[in-house]
Amino acid sequence: MTTGLADLERELERFPSSVVDEFRRATQKVSPKLSDFDVASWAKQGVDIAKQTVRSWEAASEFFRASPEVVDTLNATQLLDWGRQGSLLCQESPSLAVAFFRSSPRAFHSLRPRYIQSWANLGKTFYRGTWKSSALSAKFFEISGPVLESANFSELERFAELMDYVSHKSSDLAAECMAMAEQVLPKVGGDRLAFIRLCRAVAEANWREVKGCFESVSRLTTYIQEGQRAKFMDMTAEMAKSGMPNISLFINESATSLGRATAASQGRFLELAQTLIPKSHEAASAFLRNAPGLLGRISEVQVEAWYDHGMRILQDNPDGGMAYFKIESNTSEEVIDLLSSAVELEKIEEILRMYCRGLAGAEVDIASSRDMAGKNIGWVSEDHATTEGTTVFLPQEMNKFPSKDENFSFFKVVSTHQVAHIEFGSFGFDFDAPASRFQDNRHLREEEVQKQRRERLAARAQQQAQQPDFPLPPRLAALEGATLPPTPAPTDGDGTAEKGYLTDMGRFFDLFPIRKLALDIFTVLEDARLDYRVKAEYPGVAPAYRHIQQDALDQRPDIKEMPLQEAMVEFLVRFSLHQYKNLPVPTEFMDHAAVIAEVAKRLLHTDAAVEDTSEATLRVYDIIADLPNQQMDEEDWSEMDVEEQELSDDQLDELLDQMREMRQGNDGTQGEQDQQGEEYESPPQVDFRGDFKPELSQILNTLRQQMGQGQASGQQMQMSPEMLQQMLANSPELELDAESGQFNADLAMFIQNLVKEAGAQPPDQPGQGYGPIPHQDEDGGSLEAREPKTFVYDEWDFRAGDYKPRWCIVREKPMAEGDTQFYTDTVHSYGRLMSQIRRQFEMLMPEEYKKVKHLPDGDDFDLDAVVEAIIDKWAGESPTDKVHWRRNKIDRDVAVAFLLDMSASTAEAIDEARRVEDWDAPDDPVEYMVWLRARRGEGARRTYKRIIDLEKESIVLLIHALETVGDVYGIYGFSGYGRENVEYYVIKDMEETFGERVKRRIDKITPLHATRMGPAIRHVTSKLDKQEKRTKLLMLISDGRPQDRGYSREGVEKEYAVHDTKMALTEARRKGITPFALTVDKAGHDYLKTMCQDMGYEVLGDINNLPSRLPMLYRKLTF
Amino acid sequence: MTTPLKGTRSVYREFLIEEYRVEEEPFYIPVGDEIELFEAAYQQKIPVLLKGPTGCGKTRFVEHMSWRLGRPLSRVSPNSDNGGSSVPLITVACHEDLTASDLVGRYLLEGEETKWIDGPLTRAVKAGAICYLDEIVEARKDTTVLIHPLTDHRRLLPIEKRGQVLFADDGFLLCMSYNPGYQSALKDLKQSTRQRFVAIEFDYPDREVEAKVIEHESGVNPTVAISLAKLGEKVRNLKDYGLQEGSSTRLLIYAGKLIKQGIAPRRACQCAVVWGVTDDHEVQRSMEEIISSIFE
């Protein structure tokens, strides 16, 4: 060590010892790489730094610590320059220098030495003399290294500029962003500049969102293809510049949405969106969020057509265009629907339901297969059609074929096939019924099987006596349990039941050791029978049927890769799909296949019934089960043709006998036991035929019947869950995993579901809520009515000039019941008015008599007619004898519905109702609750009458009047909060008769939430529409303008609600209903004028008049 | 009895109503014992109520019975010297404006005088004919009451305006038809009326029989006939699920006739059956799907 260094070291000794330590360590490492002179300069630099200010020794310490690493990448001049920059930073603040030095080693992996000064300066720009800014600057140095590993320096500069900009707004935010940048920037890859530009745009528009931008990057990179990112980000930047809020949400959503498209499509979508931006950035954003999702339904080209249409609307009507691209307008949905070749079950459900009912002649319902799978009662496939005997389950959507017609016809073929199960009796299998196309072998076989089992059991009993602890695997144990029908069976005189089987189907399948194989054969044969029957019975559908059969054939898997048994079943499947030519068959077993085909052919006859299928199954099973389930070599296959011609009975029997002899000749026993080869697995099912589960269906139907009987006679269920469990443990129709150890638990749950399904009555207890109310955002899309007694309605968006489809959910519930006290009190206090009203209504009765002319007899001559008759007579014509008139009683034919506003504002005391107040419910749920509570509290403290009380009293008086004239009437209250919770309370339904319950319900009418009038009106309209009356009246009684959370555009435009209400009233009018609005809101004229235009309305000046005015008004309207 | 009208060249087939007879055997395939029942009722002079949906063959049945009862073997009417081979059949289509005088008769002015004209019911009573009141519930209730004395042991018709009572000829039988499902509750038959009749219920025949009827009436080949019958059966399955009433045999025959004339089967069924039965588009669509399944 030179003296110079030693001196310097001494100088350092007045600083904490760590500095000296670092100095010594560094010197050792640095000295060999530099000349002595440079080492001295270097050391001097460090010491100078340390001496700068009070805390600069820390910077010096870092300087020394970093030096050995840095010296590897820098030459002497650069090293000294580095030190100088650090020193300069240290003059600003030692902590900057500390960060600078500390970050240097890593940064210098990527940072070119010539940028050292710029880099230091970049860091320095953040420093504004505050503690926070120094931390920010330090953070910048820290992340520079990692960032530079993927970015170049000019990008780092851009980034620093961005951060600088952000830090002017909030240094905390900038710090957070920097922390994220370390991860984010490498992720963005080559699109860093675009990303920085985007962030810059966002920062300038709304700096708070920058963080969101950073956060959404990972989603962006996951979903958007690399080539498209820059384009996407630049576009987003443009949107941000044009003032679009909530950029990060947009990035997240549109990225996710674009993720569904391929790179090329993404590019195209982005181009399309780009052209939208100048028109409306909102529309562009909506387009990006929604368009890729459409790809499932329509092709990319069609999306463009959809886009073009929307573009035209957008030009004429920006709001309409917005709604269009948000897919919140009917036009939009219609266009999609028009373009799409997909057919949705929902849309054609009614047609198919009636079609199926027509064919089956029984109450057949249509539901989606998803519903069935969801029940967990054995049917698992969501995409396949199926039926259990009463309902045909179909896939939710069909988009397999390029045109709507073809997809519809697929639905039709599928449902025809499923209905054929019902129509042609697949589920009516009776073990004891004779077959018509075969000799009956079932009973013989049953005896044989039983005998063999007894012998085997006896043998095992012996064996077990010797080896008592030998445990059976669970599945096997279950199997053993089912081998002998052990349970005391429900006795209904049926042979099947006596033998201890739940169903005939179960009894039949019990004849086979490999049940799965038996089920598959049975299924294919039964399907073949039905396909034939359908084609014979409905020649019109036959072409479509053949088309779909052919399509199914094209999709069959390669038979040559299947082991023998499966291949034979597959052969049968293909035969059943009407492939008669060039059927691939293993050469060795061609004869077998030929016989199988012959047996199957027997079923292709209009006389063949399900029992024939069972006999055919017996025969085919015997042939297939005997074959080894082994893979065949490619060259062992040949092709055969099947003749259309059918063999005679004798010929077939002869063939079958030959087969049997061949088997016995082989090994003399049933070949199944010592079989070689793989375990049998089912070939994939044929799509259009769907899931066929004859045994389960029979069980379900039996259960249903028993439930019905049990309920009628009060008996216990005859089929216990234990019995079911025993029976079902072995059913091949259940796809439960025997090995998982879950078997028993799964089975038990499954049986529970099954029993529940058989009970089938969904508990529908009015008066109880339907669980917590789901909250949906106003920006969400269409809603779906899932629960009972919920209805979904469109809402009119007057700006868009179109309906928002399925926008509101109306929840109908009966009003809670209170006391009759209110009713009685009202009757008392209004005694005089009441009798007055009654008298007036009674007096109306005579008005109902009208004069009817041109009668042959009557009260008196109709002079006009007499004169005419006499003239006729003189003219030589035969005069009419219809010269009398008479008063004829014409039945009053009126139905009326009263719709009562139960909004919170009706809690206003009537004398203070004049007080001007903002009646808008706050949009934020939390604020809303506070607002609501405040309102209710106010109401509760008051002892005087509220608006609602007057409404209630009017109702009481009205009921009196209505009961006098005998009109059909309903009284409903409505309120709600948000579009998904429009509450609709039934106080008295149309069909209901007036009684105690209604009186009690009136008591419970209380102010609730907001006033979304549109859906309530639509719902009451649908109720009135069902009434077959000449005069229908809808009376809306409210206390103010319609308003609700989100019942406006952007929460400010009250017109929106008014227009929707108006549209709802117009809809009612179109249906022949006369709407009338009565309001107690003095300011009512302004909006009622818009709302009701040419319809009747009345603003009640003095609210106290309501009880007397309402009945009078009613009288005026209906007489 | 054909009367050519003077001064015109066209020739009408015109009958006095009590002289109208069914000369040719009307085609009718019995479904059950309705023929025996009707014969027995006729012998015992019990009025008959034919119930059944529209177009299932009620009117045809009455025509057939009128022809059949006139044959020597089963002829019961002593008033048989009128030369015809069947019991006269007087059909009155009932409607809302049908008054008592429309049935019994009325005075007409003739010049300066008045002249009494018998109504169809009176003429049937006099002539010993089968008086068939079609769709009786359509008639006003006060009109319906008029027939009461004719339908019990008295078998007489009071003619109020002339102050007379008219005893029914032995060959007279009152018969009316009634379609239970279709009328509204307002138009139900009064118990006091309906309990004066024995009722024979009709329904659409089963597929094979209906096919024969269609084949005979429309002249289509048996395959088309059976398809039409099949369609009828399927459409009737939809009753109460969107259809008020299934398609009648009559409509199926119409469809058959159109097909016979060369109209494509699907189109013929659409016009004759679908549009005839319902206006509801969705139901129409469903029915058209059924048709397109059955017909190629």
SS (H, E, C) A948-979: HHHHHHHHHHHHHHHHHHCCEEEEEEEEECCC
Q: What share of chain B is helix, strand, coil (3-state, %, to 5)?
A: 45, 15, 40
Give the domain-ending residue among B201, B224, B241: B201
Q: Are residues B48 and B172 in the same domain?
A: yes
Q: Which of A330-344, A513-527, A848-862 shows the lowest per-residue confidence on average (mean pLDDT)?
A: A848-862
Point out the least confidently predicted range of A281-285, A1066-1070, B68-72: B68-72
Give the total residue count for chain A. 1119
Nearest residue in A to B292, CA atom = A540
Cβ-nearest to A358 among B108, B282, B286? B286
State both tokens at A611.
Answer: 């029992």
- Residue B41 has a pLDDT of 92
Find all residues with CB under 8 Å of B262, minimum gap 6, and list them: none
Is it the case that residue A760 has pLDDT exceeding 50?
Answer: no
Q: B102 and B219 share a domain?
A: no
Residue B169 vs residues A800, B124, B196: alpha-carbon distances, Å? 78, 9, 19
Q: Are residues B197 and B211 in the same domain?
A: no
A667 pLDDT band (50/70/90 cuts)? low
Same domain, residue pair B279 and B214: yes
Most confident of A378-392, B3-17, B225-239: B225-239
CA distance A643 to A647: 10
CA A494 to chain centre: 45
The encoded tokens of residue A843 equal 């007096």
Under an 8 A CB cutoff, do A351 and B238 touch?
no
Cα angle value B257/B258/B262 (rounded, 5°): 115
Q: Are B66 and B130 in contact (CB under 8 A)?
A: yes
A336, A297 Cβ separation under 8 angstroms: yes
Q: Are B248 and B182 found together in one domain?
A: no
Check pLDDT > 80 for residue A707: no
pLDDT value for A930: 63
The pLDDT assigned to A991 comes to: 79
Please answer yes or no on whether B282 and A351 come within 8 Å at the CB atom.
yes
Q: Tell me, what's the pLDDT at A380?
A: 65
CB-based contact A540 B266, cutoff 8 Å: yes
Q: Are residues B149 and B37 in the same domain?
A: yes
Of B108, B238, B295, the CB nearest to A358: B238
Residue A707 has a CB neighbour count (10 Å cut-off) of 18
The pLDDT assigned to B46 comes to: 92
Is residue A769 scored above 50 in pLDDT?
A: no
Three-state DSSP at A880 gives coil
What average pLDDT does range A53-65 have in this prediction?
A: 85
What pLDDT does residue B213 have? 93
Amino acid sitting at position B84: G
Nearest to A411 by CA among B154, B285, B9: B285
Number of structural domains (chain B) is 2
% of chain A with per-residue pLDDT over 70:
80
Q: Are residues B186 and B248 in the same domain?
A: no
Does any domain span residue B4? Answer: no
Asked if A16 contacts A55 with a C-beta cutoff of 8 angstroms, the reply is no
A875 DSSP 8-state letter: T
Strands A894-901 and A968-976: parallel
Residue A530 near residue A600, CB atoms below 8 Å: no
pLDDT band at B111 (very low <50, low <70, confident <90, very high): low
Indicate whether B260 and B115 sit together in one domain. Answer: no
Q: Tell me, what's the ipTM?
A: 0.78
Residue B231: pLDDT band (50, 70, 90) is very high
The arithmetic mean of pLDDT across residues A1111-1118, rounded, is 71
**Quick one: pLDDT at residue B223?**
92
Predicted pLDDT of residue A107: 86
Nearest C-alpha neighbor of A412 from the set A340, A339, A363, A349: A349
Closest residue of chain B to A542, computed from CA coordinates: B293
Q: Which residues, listed in sequence order, are joined to residue B109 by a DSSP beta bridge? A: B114
pLDDT at A724 over 90: no
The pair of structure tokens assigned to A687 is 């799509």
Domain residue limits at B159: 17-201
C-alpha A245/C-alpha A212 separation (Å) is 12
Least trusted range by pLDDT, from A289-293, A701-705, A803-807 = A701-705
- Interchain contact, B109 vs A879, CB within 8 Å: yes
* pLDDT class of B93 with cuts at 50, 70, 90: confident
**Closest listed residue to residue A639, CA positions, set A699, A717, A689, A575:** A575
Residue A1042 scores a pLDDT above 60: yes
Instruction: Give the model's pLDDT for residue B47.
Output: 92
Q: Looking at residue B274, what DSSP letter applies?
A: I
Dist CA A850 CA A847 (whole Å):
7
Look at A412 and B293 and tell me if their CB atoms are within 8 Å: yes
| Signed CA dihedral, A309, A314, A320, A321: sign only | positive
Q: Which residue has the higher pLDDT, A1089 or A522?
A: A522
Confidence of residue A295 (pLDDT cuts 50, 70, 90): confident
pLDDT tens digits, one per residue of A102-127: 888 888 888 888 888 888 888 888 88
Amino acid, single-letter form, for residue A1109: R
Q: What is the pLDDT of residue A747?
A: 67
- Domain boundary (B152, B172, B201) is at B201
The pair phi, psi for residue B79, each rounded to 5°, is -80, 50
Out of A416-425, A524-533, A1021-1030, which region has the weakest mean confidence (pLDDT)? A1021-1030
φ and ψ at residue A398, rounded to 5 degrees: -125, 120
| Residue for token pair 């006095």 | B16
- Of all residues in chain A, the one with the smallest CA distance to B100 is A856
Q: What is the pLDDT of residue A936?
A: 55
State the Rg of chain A over Cα: 43
**Cβ pair B245, B239 in contact under 8 A:** yes
Q: b/e map of A117-141 (b: 16 or more CB within 10 Å)? A: ebbbebbbebbeeeebbbbbbbbbb
For residues A1006-1033, average pLDDT: 81
Please answer whether residues A928 and A1066 qualify as being in contact, where contact means their C-beta atoms are separated by less than 8 angstroms. no
Residue whose pair of structure tokens reads 């079911």 in the numeric block: A724
Between A8 and A750, name the one with better pLDDT: A8
Q: Which residue has the higher pLDDT, A1090 or B215?
A: B215
Pick the residue from chain A with its C-alpha nearest to B102.
Answer: A856
Angstrom distances, CA of residue A388 to CA of A238, A246, A755, A801, B238: 57, 50, 14, 45, 21
Model confidence at A929, pLDDT cuts 50, 70, 90, reads: low
User: Is the domain of B174 the same as that of B274?
Assistant: no
Which pLDDT tens digit goes with each residue over A505-532? 888 888 888 888 888 889 889 999 998 9
- Residue B294 CA to residue A355 CA, distance in Å, equals 12
Residue B101 to residue A416, Cβ atoms within 8 A = no
The order of strands in the sheet holding A802-814 is A790-797, A802-814, A982-988, A968-976, A894-901, A1031-1038, A1073-1079, A1096-1099
Residue A962 has what pLDDT?
A: 77
pLDDT band for position A713 (50/70/90)? Answer: very low
| Closest by CA position to A790, among listed A817, A769, A804, A763 | A769
Does the pLDDT at position A1047 exceed 80?
no
The domain over range A894-1118 is classified in CATH as 3.40.50.1820? no
Any domain includes B40: yes
Judge whether residue B73 has pLDDT over 50.
Answer: no
Task: Give chain A's end-to-end CA distance (angstroms, integer).
Answer: 120
Q: What gap in Å lies between CA A936 and CA A929, rounded to an integer? A: 10
* Best residue of A354, A606, A883, A890 to probe chain B, by most B CBs closer than 10 Å: A354
| In a domain? residue B197 | yes
- Domain identity same for B162 and B108: yes
Q: Which residue has the higher pLDDT, A933 or A773?
A: A933
Q: Give residue B260's pLDDT.
A: 93
A640 reaches B (C-beta below 8 A): no
Residues ≥6 apart with Cβ < 8 Å to B117: B105, B106, B107, B108
- Gap between the Cα atoms of A1114 and B13, Å rounded: 60
Cβ partners under 8 Å of residue B113, min gap 6: none
The CATH number linked to B162 is 3.40.50.300
As a whole number, mean pLDDT of residues A1114-1118 equals 70
Selected for mutation to probe chain A from B233, B238, B289 (highest A CB count within 10 Å) is B289
Contacts for A6 with CB less than 8 Å, ≥ 6 apart: none
pLDDT in tens, A870-917: 777 776 667 777 788 776 655 667 788 888 888 777 776 665 444 434
Residue B222 has pLDDT above 90, yes or no: yes
A359 touches B at CB < 8 Å: yes
| Residue B62 pLDDT exceeds 70 | yes
pLDDT, residue A890, reads: 58
Cα dist from A312 to A275, A287, A805, whole Å: 13, 14, 20
SS3 A286: helix
Calculate Rg over the CA atoms of chain B: 21
Q: For residue B254, what pLDDT is reported?
A: 93
Q: In the listed set B171, B201, B231, which residue is the last one of a domain according to the structure?
A: B201
Q: How far apart are CA A691 and CA A694, in angstroms?
A: 10
Q: Does B111 reside within a domain?
A: yes
Q: How far apart are CA A84 and CA A97, in angstroms?
A: 10
Find the CB nearest A361 among B106, B109, B237: B237
Report the pLDDT value the prediction gives residue B291, as an integer from 0 to 100: 92
Average pLDDT over residues B125-141: 84
Report pLDDT for A744: 62
Token digits for A200? Answer: 């810059």
* Single-letter residue type at A577: L
Of the pLDDT bands very low, low, confident and very high (cuts 50, 70, 90), residue B263 is: very high
Region B217-236: mean pLDDT is 92
Gap between the Cα atoms of A1005 and A954, Å rounded: 12
Contact between A878 and A1016 (Cβ < 8 Å): no
Average pLDDT of chain A, as a whole number = 77
* Claim to verify: residue B44 and residue B187 sit in the same structural domain: yes
pLDDT band at A739 (very low <50, low <70, confident <90, very high): very low
**What is the CB neighbour count within 10 angstroms for residue A916?**
6
Q: Is the pLDDT score of A711 beyond 60?
A: no
Q: Which helix (H) or strand (E) holds A585?
A: strand A583-586
Query: What percent of chain B shows pLDDT beyond 90?
Result: 29
Indicate the domain borders of chain A: 1-124, 151-259, 266-340, 343-423, 512-692, 894-1118
Pick the closest to residue A538 from B193, B83, B80, B266 (CA basis). Answer: B266
Contact B296 A350 (CB under 8 A): no
Residue B286 located in a structural domain? yes
For residue B12, being part of any structural domain is answered with no
Looking at per-residue pLDDT, the higher value among A703 and B49 belongs to B49
CA–CA separation, A733 and A754 (whole Å): 14
* B118 and B194 within one domain: yes
Q: Is the pLDDT of residue A759 over 60?
A: no
Residue of A nearest to B239 (CA): A358
Within a domain: B275: yes
Segment B149-193, tens digit of pLDDT: 888 888 899 887 778 899 998 889 999 988 775 544 345 677 788
- CB spacing of B291 vs A540 below 8 angstroms: yes
Mean pLDDT, rounded, for A603-611: 87
Q: How far apart are CA A585 and CA A426, in angstroms?
A: 29
- Both tokens of residue B114? 């008045």
> Hey, is A541 helix, strand or coil?
coil
Distance (Å, rounded) from C-alpha B89 to C-alpha B20? 6
**Looking at the complex, does the CB of residue A32 fall below 8 Å from at least one CB of chain B?**
no
Query: CA-nearest residue of chain B to A881?
Result: B108
